[in-house]
């Protein structure tokens, strides 16, 4: 499938760069000299979570590459409207000089203290060290340290950030926060439990909340909700939460809440979907209801929802969201007992993910489509350099999906992306890591095992790629095998691919049977338009290029039950 691609140029604004290096306020007489000791918490992000750092727009995440030291680093996905500032507030002593340093990578990355000194550099391809000093005021007892990128400059990275100096107040802050209140469970799967609680108060300020399972601390977060992952199915857990301030004072425990995780086996989402792609703007689209009657298929993935201009969703950027042929066909599908999941994006075209100015704007566009059709699920087909290989856009899409999922109880979210024969590529791994760090709660990660060097063994290489995805989901989310499989989708290509890979009906049957036996969540293929024979016809829009029966791949797909 090819759609003319319109890349919207971005206005790059640097007029404010000169103001970023803030001068120190009036000097304080005879400031003390800080003793060298890093007083930041989680300075190298080696905990695997952001806490106690907080990032604007949910645009910060912890990644495993590229790093400066250790095995983790911070990634901030700066957008056109948000510089992805990540900050941490620490206790300091008055009238004392501190040294702030850190290693950063990216275009126009800043390091500084709120209301005081800052410095910046541009180092797109390698880590570079930034260093700045500041002196606290005569009565200052806390300082907010930050790092951020610059608008529309893409993802920056930061690692090994150090604030050298004595901890705050010489031990004068000994007052602990109040205990968190009303701890409750807001959801669970076979391997995770989601929690929320009422905020604590403190004389200086709460810097983190520590979540305990029994007597073991399992997670630290800066907000008043969290999801504890890596749990065992059908197992009872008891959780409490304690608040902590920057001086290290810890509150009493909250009330306890006991939760038993769901059973394993069939998976964590309970979502199963056989939904081949149907494209009404290409490839002599067949009658959707006739294909349903002939094959037993119930779901279609409808392609493609794009940007009609101004972050306004339209089919193919040209056909109206409602009132046109697309809605007519959707109504017919539903009247015949079926349903649809719209696919946003694709390989080319003017995409909402790339063009909407912010995650909130993108969420608003998605919500228009959800409201228009009363959707049960949406698919984000994240491809090409404008979305898949743009980490800031990845984060924007994931944050938008998190928003609409929270605003539409029961909505299932699917992300679809390319793969290698052994599993996710760098950008696929990055997408999964960002989904975990942003707590996006994606239901299905669907890979596209075609045009991926599959050669003559499309069954074996599809299985290998899917097993690679399973391994990545397990290591990232702490899931067991069954839960990982239950969050996986496969979206193939029937007949000949662009690389002349050949998925025959017999091979697709093997793939479907493997998918059923491993209880994955979703099976799709590109596309019903091509589910017609034309041996020797090549790679075309309205047939498969091989010998087959009409609608044979759709019939096979209809046998997917998960």
pLDDT per residue as tens digits for the range 322-345: 999 999 999 999 999 999 999 999
Task: Please report, for residues 119, 273, 326, 379, 490, the alpha-carbon distance to residue 539 in angstroms, rounded to integers and kept in the order given.
Answer: 54, 27, 25, 25, 21
What residue spans of 120-251 are helical by DSSP H?
Answer: none
Averaging pLDDT over each range in 36-50, 56-70, 283-297, which range is the top one?
Answer: 283-297
Mean pLDDT in residue range 450-465: 94
**CB proximity list for 290: less than 8 A, separation 6 or greater:** none
Give the pLDDT confidence score for residue 228 in this predicted structure: 79
Residue 105 has pLDDT above 80, yes or no: yes
Residues 22-50 have a mean pLDDT of: 59
Which of 25-29, 223-227, 322-326 has the weakest average pLDDT? 25-29
Active site residue 383: yes
Q: Which of 60-64, 225-229, 395-399, 517-521 has the lowest mean pLDDT?
A: 225-229
Of the chain, the percentage scoring pLDDT greater than 70 comes to 90
Q: Rounded to whole angstroms, how far apart are CA atoms 485 and 467?
A: 9
Averaged confidence pLDDT in the chain: 86
Q: Identify the band that residue 172 occupies on the pLDDT scale cut at 50, 70 and 90.
A: low
Whether residue 154 contacts residue 190, with contact meaning beta carbons closer than 8 Å, is answered with: no
Q: Which two tokens stand for residue 453?
A: 């060097």
Q: Which residues pair with 65 in a beta bridge?
A: none
pLDDT the model gives residue 31: 46
Q: What is the pLDDT of residue 37?
A: 62
For residues 309 and 307, give the distance between their C-alpha atoms in angstroms, rounded to a whole number: 5
SS3 (DSSP) at 292: helix
In the numeric block, which tokens belong to residue 1?
């499938």
Instruction: Please check the confidence at residue 4 and state whether its pLDDT lies above 60.
Output: no
Q: How confident is the model at residue 230 (pLDDT cuts 50, 70, 90)?
A: low
| pLDDT band per the 50, 70, 90 thresholds, residue 67 | confident
How many CB atoms sit inside 10 A of residue 413's CB? 23
**In this model, does residue 29 exceed pLDDT 50?**
no
Residues 188-218 pLDDT 10s? 877 778 889 999 999 888 888 888 888 777 7
Residue bearing the bigger pLDDT, 173 or 533: 533
Which tens digits make up the pLDDT trace of 521-548?
999 999 999 999 999 988 999 999 999 9
pLDDT of residue 302: 97
Contacts of 12 by beta carbon, 8 Å cutoff, 6+ apart: 152, 153
- Cβ contact 383:344 at 8 Å: no
Q: Comparing C-alpha atoms, which of 202, 228, 211 is closest to residue 89?
A: 202
Q: How confident is the model at residue 93 (pLDDT cuts 50, 70, 90)?
A: confident
Q: What is the pLDDT of residue 186?
A: 83
Average pLDDT over residues 86-90: 91
More confident residue, 538 or 447: 447
Q: CA 413, 415, 421, 422 torsion: positive or negative?
A: negative
> Would you state the pLDDT for residue 269?
58
Q: Residue 16 pLDDT > 60, yes or no?
A: no
- Is 367:312 a contact under the CB 8 Å cutoff? no
Interval 255-308: pLDDT, tens: 999 988 877 544 455 689 999 999 998 889 999 999 999 999 999 999 999 999
Q: What is the dihedral of CA 153, 158, 163, 167, to 10 degrees?
A: 110
Q: Are 115 and 135 in contact (CB under 8 A)?
A: no
Structure tokens at 254: 């909250």
Which of 56-70, 159-173, 313-327, 368-382 is least confident? 159-173
Residue 13's pLDDT band (cuts 50, 70, 90): very low
- Tokens in use for 68? 């400066």
The 3-state secondary structure of 97-137 reads: EEEEEEEEEEEEEEEEECCCCEEEEEEEEEEEEEEEEEECC
- Residue of 46, 383, 391, 433 with catalytic role: 383
Residue 449 clears pLDDT 60, i.e. is over it: yes
**DSSP alpha helices (H): ranges in 358-504?**
359-373, 391-407, 426-437, 458-477, 481-485
pLDDT at 433 over 50: yes
């Amino acid at each position: 499938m090819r759609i003319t691609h319109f890349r919207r140029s971005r206005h790059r604004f640097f007029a404010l760069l000169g103001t970023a290096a803030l001068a120190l306020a009036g000097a304080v007489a005879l400031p003390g000299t800080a003793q060298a000791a890093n007083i930041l918490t989680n300075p190298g992000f080696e905990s695997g979570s952001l806490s106690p750092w907080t990032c604007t727009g949910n645009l910060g995440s912890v990644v495993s590459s590229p790093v400066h030291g250790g095995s983790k680093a911070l990634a901030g996905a700066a957008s056109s409207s948000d510089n992805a500032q990540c900050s941490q507030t620490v206790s300091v002593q008055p009238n004392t000089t501190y040294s702030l340093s850190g290693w950063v990578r990216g275009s126009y990355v800043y390091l500084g203290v709120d209301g005081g000194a800052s410095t910046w550099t541009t180092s797109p391809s390698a880590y570079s060290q930034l260093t700045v000093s500041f002196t606290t005021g005569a009565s200052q007892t806390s300082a907010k340290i930050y790092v951020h990128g610059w608008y529309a400059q893409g993802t920056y990275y930061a690692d090994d950030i150090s604030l050298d100096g004595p901890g705050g107040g010489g031990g004068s802050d000994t007052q602990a926060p109040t205990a968190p209140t009303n701890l409750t469970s807001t959801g669970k799967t076979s391997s995770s439990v989601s929690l929320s609680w009422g905020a604590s108060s403190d004389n200086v300020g709460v810097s983190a909340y520590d979540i305990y399972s029994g007597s073991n601390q399992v997670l630290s977060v800066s907000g008043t909700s969290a999801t504890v992952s890596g749990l065992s199915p059908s197992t009872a857990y008891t959780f409490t939460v304690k608040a902590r301030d920057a001086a290290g004072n810890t509150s009493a425990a909250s009330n306890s809440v006991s939760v038993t995780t769901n059973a394993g086996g069939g998976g964590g989402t309970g979502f199963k979907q056989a939904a081949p792609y149907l494209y009404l703007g290409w490839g002599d689209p067949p009658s959707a209801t006739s294909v349903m009657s002939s094959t037993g298929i119930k779901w279609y993935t409808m392609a493609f929802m794009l940007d009609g201009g101004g972050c306004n969703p339209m089919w193919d950027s040209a056909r109206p969201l409602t009132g046109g042929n697309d809605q007519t066909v959707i109504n017919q599908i539903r009247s015949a007992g079926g349903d649809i999941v719209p696919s946003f994006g694709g390989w080319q075209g003017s995409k909402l993910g790339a063009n909407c100015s912010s995650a909130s704007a993108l969420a608003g566009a998605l919500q228009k489509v959800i409201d228009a059709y009363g959707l049960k699920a949406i698919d984000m087909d994240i491809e090409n350099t404008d979305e898949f290989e743009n980490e800031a856009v990845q984060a924007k899409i994931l944050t938008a999906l998190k928003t609409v999922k929270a605003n539409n109880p029961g909505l299932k979210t699917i992300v679809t992306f390319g793969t290698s024969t052994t599993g996710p590529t760098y950008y696929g791994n990055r997408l999964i890591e960002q989904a975990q760090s942003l707590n996006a709660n994606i239901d299905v990660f669907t890979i596209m095992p075609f045009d991926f060097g599959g050669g003559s063994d499309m069954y074996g290489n599809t299985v290998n790629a899917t097993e690679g995805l399973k391994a990545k989901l397990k290591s990232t989310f702490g899931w067991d095998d069954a839960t990982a499989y239950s969050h996986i989708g496969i979206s193939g290509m029937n007949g000949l691919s662009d690389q002349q890979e050949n998925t025959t009906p017999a091979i697709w049957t093997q793939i479907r049977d493997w998918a059923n036996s491993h209880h994955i969540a979703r099976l799709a293929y590109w596309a019903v338009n091509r589910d017609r024979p034309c041996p020797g016809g090549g790679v075309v829009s309205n047939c498969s290029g091989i010998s087959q029966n009409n609608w044979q791949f759709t019939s096979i797909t209809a046998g997917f039950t998960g």
